[in-house]
Structure 1
Amino acid sequence: MLADALYADGPVRVGLAGAGPWARAMHARMLAAGPETRLTAVWARRPEAAAETAAPYGAAVAASFDELLERSEAIAFAVPPAVQAELAVRAARAGKALLLEKPLAAGLDEARALADTVAESGVVSQLVLTKRYHPVTRDFLRRAASVRVTGARSCYLHGAFLGGEFATSWRLEQGALYDLGPHLLDLLDASVGPIASVRAAGDSRRWIELTCEHENGAVSQASLSGSVRLARARTRVELYGEDGEVVYDTAELDHEECWPVLRREFAAAVRTGRPTPLDAARGLRLQELIARAAA
């Protein structure tokens, strides 16, 4: 009955900004799958790429970002961080709900401007922190809440920066701290406790180590790299304390289970006007931690 009431006006009409590999592999496919959302249109700076992304789902190709806004009640972003920061501000001011990628922006000032605009406009925002929508991740965070953590070790490693369609210019320039860091910092901040300080060693484009001190006195370590040859991406968080250990490992995690949860929760947030905790303000928090590490 609640679902019927939420979608009495039909699925949420979502426009997609971007037509790169992530837009094709995830955003377009997820939003078009419904039933809570409908992919209405795609806009990209290369019209031919937008047409290729839209065609399998019968979505329109918007000739401009303004046209995308007119066709949609929510906008999903699959563009580089610097582009997202600019366009998402325009969308928020137009009253559109936002499905945002991480990091929010290329820099802290732009991320703060976006988060402030979202708050001032009163629009719903939500972050695509993929792993957060998987039942295994949520079970890990529930278990973590029941233990007193003394220290933690974690890693997020893959070889996507070595070549292929995800070795995009912004990822190669800014490296793992900006691409993978939001995921791992979010998990450590949520499972160990709020991070009070973070410092880094290494090269974000090759291998970078983060040391975090948490408000509760715990210390955690995070290893990040997109430039190591592995058979598959590796994400692991190990929590240690007087109550024993709690381990989170994505080796057997099927990411296809994330998309229906993400879509359903975003659509519900749009219809109710109540965002989840994974909103632009959370994105700003993660960007602040990245900025501290980069400094």
Structure 2
Amino acid sequence: MSKQRIGLLGTGPWAHRTHARALAAHPDVELSGVWGRRAEAAAALAAEHGTRAYAGEGDGEEGVDALFAASDAVAFALPPDIQAPLAVRAAAAGCHLLMDKPVATEPAKARAVAEAVGREGVASVVFCTMRFAPGSAGWIEEQAARNDWFTAHAHWLGSLFDQGRKDSPPDSPWRREKGGLWDVGPHALSVLMPVLGDVSEVTAVRGEPDLTHLVLRHTSGVTSSATLSLSAPQAGAGAGVEFRGASGTATLPEGKDDPVVSFTAAIDALLESIRTGDPHPCDARFGLRLTEILTRAETSVRENTEKGEG
């Protein structure tokens, strides 16, 4: 397969540190351009990697539709509810999709993406980091091969909005609004679900400021739990998953993977799906499922909060 032309949508910190670097360095990819809502930011990132900048919502020579026309696929580093409608447009233009999680924060928007992928016959991958990171991807497959699990617990406690941190957190309005449930919740679910099955029931309660506790029932009959936050004290932050079963326990390997390496693996997965026509387990349909589950959790938080106030 000849090099795939992949364009990048987004110019924020993750686009700079991870997406653009991985795309530009991939031997089977030509970085076909960078699109951003701010023309100057798109121009700076594009110049850094020797490609063309695009900006604007329309179909002019410099707009986002022009990038779609110049690309075989597009990668997204955008807030979810900006990503989703652009992904629908990209699929309609025949572009394969490499999306960030969550695909959207509203089921209707995520469903529109999944339907566009199916209708247009394009490949899709949602970048759930743990499913692609070298230190965790193989481990998840090993646990999924076992069927004796009794329960599991995941915790993803980020300190992005820790009020005691000395540096200023990156500007991310959607993360501040939606909290850990939506930002790190997909990480926890992307590990629990391939091992224990889809989620059939979810109950959630929230503590201040955004600490969310989930209790999940899976289609396998097993129950699990997850604790999520973006406002943990830095000294108490961390992530982990533990499965417990008849044969003992299994704990997610510790250590940080290089996000560029993990995103490169996601690029590889998209290229393989394009080549074979086989859908990836973390495709747009999986992205839709994550949005549906997190929406149910958000509803449960609201209902349980109202009960506590009643």
Scaled by the length of structure 1, the TM-score of the pair is 0.91
> In the alignment, which residue of structure 2 is the partner of 1:105?
104
Q: 2:15 — aligned with what?
A: 23
1:34-113 pair list within 5 angstroms: 34-62=26-54, 63-113=62-112
- Distance in 2, matches of 1:218 and 1:31, equals 39
Q: Is the 8 A contact 2:95 2:122 kept in 1?
A: yes
How far apart in 2 are the matches of 1:255 and 1:77? 15
Q: CA deviation at 1:54?
A: 1.2
Deviations 1:150-175 (A, max 9, x none): 11111011111347454400000011
- Judge which range, 186-195 or 175-184, deviates more: 186-195
Shift, 1:237, TM fit = 0.6
Task: Encode CA deviations 1:119-145: one digit per residue, 9 max, x unaligned.
Answer: 111111111111211233223223312
Does the 8 Å contact 1:14/1:37 carry over to 2? Answer: yes
Corresponding residue pairs, total:
287
1:5-26 CA deviation, whole Å, 9 max, x = no partner? x2xx3x2111111111111111
In structure 1, what is the Cα distance between the partners aligned to 2:291 and 2:4? 28
Q: C-alpha distance in 1, partners of 2:129/2:91?
A: 22
Structure 2 unaligned spans of 5+ = 55-61, 300-310
Aligned counterpart, 2:292: 288
Q: Secondary structure at the match of 1:224?
A: strand
CA distance in structure 2 between the aligned counterparts of 1:114 and 1:270, rounded to whole angstroms: 17
Q: Secondary structure at the match of 2:203?
A: strand
What residue in structure 2 maps to residue 264 of structure 1? 268
The equivalent residue for 1:126 is: 125
Matched residues in 1 for 2:222 and 2:78: separation? 36
Deviation by residue 1:25-84 (Cα, 9 ceiling, x = unmatched): 111111001101121101111011111211121010012111111211111111111111
Q: Which residue of 2 aligns with 1:3?
A: none
Matched ranges for 1:1-295 at <5 A: 6=1, 9=2, 11-62=3-54, 63-144=62-143, 145-162=145-162, 164=168, 166-203=170-207, 206-230=210-234, 234-295=238-299
Going from structure 1 to structure 2, the CA distance change for 1:45 and 1:255 (only over 3 Å counts) comes to: closer
Contact 1:235-1:251 within 8 A present in 2 as well? no
Q: What SS does structure 1 have at the residue aligned with 2:111?
A: helix
Shift of 1:270: 2.5
> What displacement does 1:233 show?
5.6
Residue type matched to 1:207 in 2?
L
Rounded to whole Å, the distance in 2 between the matches of 1:198 and 1:51 is: 44
Distance of aligned partners of 1:86 and 1:206 in 2 relative to their CA distance in 1, 3 Å threshold = same
Structure 1's 232 and 33: CA in aligned 2 closer, same or farther, altered over 3 A? farther
Letter paired with 2:287: G
DSSP 3-state at the match of 2:146 = coil
TM-score for the superposition, normalised by structure 2: 0.87
Kept after mapping to 1: 8 A contact 2:100/2:127? yes
Identity %: 38
- What is the RMSD computed on CA atoms of the aligned residues? 1.9
Q: Which amino acid aligns with 1:156?
A: W
